[in-house]
Amino acid sequence: MVVEARPFDGLTPERVLAAAEFAGFEADGRLFALNSYENRVYQVGTACHGMLVLKFYRPGRWSDAQILEEHAFTLELAAHELPVAAPLAPLGSTLLEQGGFRYAAFPFRAGHAPELDAPGALEQLGRALARVHAIGATRRFRARPALDPERLGHRAVRTVRALGFVPPELAARYAATAEALLGDIDAAFADVAGIRVERIHGDCHLGNVLWNEQGPLFVDLDDCVMGPRVQDLWMFLAGDAGEQRRRWVELMRGYEQFAAFDYRELRLIEPLRALRMLHHAAWVAERWGDPAFPRAFPWYGERRFWETCVTDLAAQREAIAEPPLLASAWV
């Protein structure tokens, strides 16, 4: 296994503006890089179409069919008046290619960071997510992957071990702790075998939600998958056990106005959190050849990072054994 090379070296400002022109948008010279590590995203000013957002996909990550399926899902949500940022099709397709880069164009949508402590915000978010899931349940992805322990957990641990970022003196502890955690995750998924999986956002956290006068706006469905609905909910449950329960009650107050929820999925919250932890470590390792990653995660190769990582993985085993949010509180 090899850390990928510098995938965006050729994506210069001139090439970004050329991509806008290729799609039929007359760029006016305004160009702003937006915060993104996995892909490259730019806000581009145009003469006749206002501000646009161009998203350049990381080479080799998704196939054309997978990207187009992401776009189709987003457009389906938009057609049902769901609050999403949907791609444009300026040349008859939502997936464009120019200068060796695949990209998509989106209208610029204004908004601010969500304030989930505001009265009614979590309830409103719950209503919106229930509507997203209602549409997601109407059909299945054919090209997009599924959210499962093998892809996000077992493969992630193999990647970290193979790429050699763990200091030698911590390698055995990392391996033993990660493997034990994977056993816990596998057991939790087995416990809820048969729960419904459907098309979901997949990476629904505060950074992928904007808030405007209408409420939440979901952006960046780059990680949409077939998975349990609780994956789109648990990342909004911050704080201690009491605060998590309070937030969950508010989310469900809105959610259950539009959809029923299978409370067995609560068993997956801590395993899903564990998968995110394991996957994140592998994600940084695989992307280390991209100059953006050493700048953003300069501590990644240091002993203290891996000591904390092993400690956190061990603590997550305890959270899976005694989850802060218990299904019995609502069933």
109-142 pLDDT tens trace: 999 999 999 999 999 999 999 999 999 999 999 9
Is 90 exceeded by the pLDDT of residue 305?
yes
Output the DSSP codes for 252-300.
Answer: HHHHTTT----GGGGGGHHHHHHHHHHHHHHHHHHTTTSTHHHHH-TTT
What is 121-329's CATH number?
Answer: 1.10.510.10
List the one residue out of 70, 97, 62, 102 whose CA is nearest residue 86: 70
CATH code of domain 13-107: 3.30.200.70
> Across residues 305-314, what is the average pLDDT?
98
* Mean pLDDT for the chain overall: 94
- What are the DSSP calls for 124-156, one per residue? HHHHHHHHHHHHHTTS--SSS-B--HIIIIIHH
pLDDT in tens, 268-277: 999 999 999 9
Greatest Cα pair distance, the chain, in angstroms, is 59
Domain boundaries, the chain: 13-107, 121-329
pLDDT band of 231, cuts 50, 70, 90: very high
Q: pLDDT tier at 330 (50, 70, 90 boundaries)? A: very low
**For residue 175, what is the enclosing H or E element?**
helix 168-191
Instruction: Please report which confidence band the pLDDT of residue 4 belongs to, taking 50, 70 and 90 as the band edges.
Output: low
Residue 2's pLDDT band (boundaries 50, 70, 90)?
very low
Percent of the residues in the chain that have a pLDDT greater than 90, as a whole number? 92
Q: Which tens digits make up the pLDDT trace of 147-177?
A: 999 999 999 999 999 999 999 999 999 999 9
Find tokens 């994977």 and name the residue: 182
pLDDT tens by residue, 169-220? 999 999 999 999 999 999 999 999 999 999 999 999 999 999 999 999 999 9
pTM of structure: 0.94
Give pLDDT, residue 331: 42
Q: 269-286 and 155-163 are packed helices; what angle lies between their axes, rounded to 10 degrees?
A: 30
> What values do phi and psi take at 89, rounded to 5?
-130, 70
What integer is the mean pLDDT of 270-288? 97
Of all residues in the chain, the percent with pLDDT exceeding 70 is 97
- Residue 203 φ/ψ, nearest 5 degrees: -140, 50
How many angstroms separate the Cα of 142 from the Cα of each of 72, 123, 199? 12, 32, 10
Q: Which two tokens stand for residue 314?
A: 């061990």
Q: Give how far Cα 110 sits from Cα of 34, 113, 209, 211, 310, Å.
A: 13, 10, 11, 8, 40
Judge contact between 122 and 116, C-beta under 8 A.
Answer: yes
Q: Write out the catalytic residue numbers.
A: 203, 220
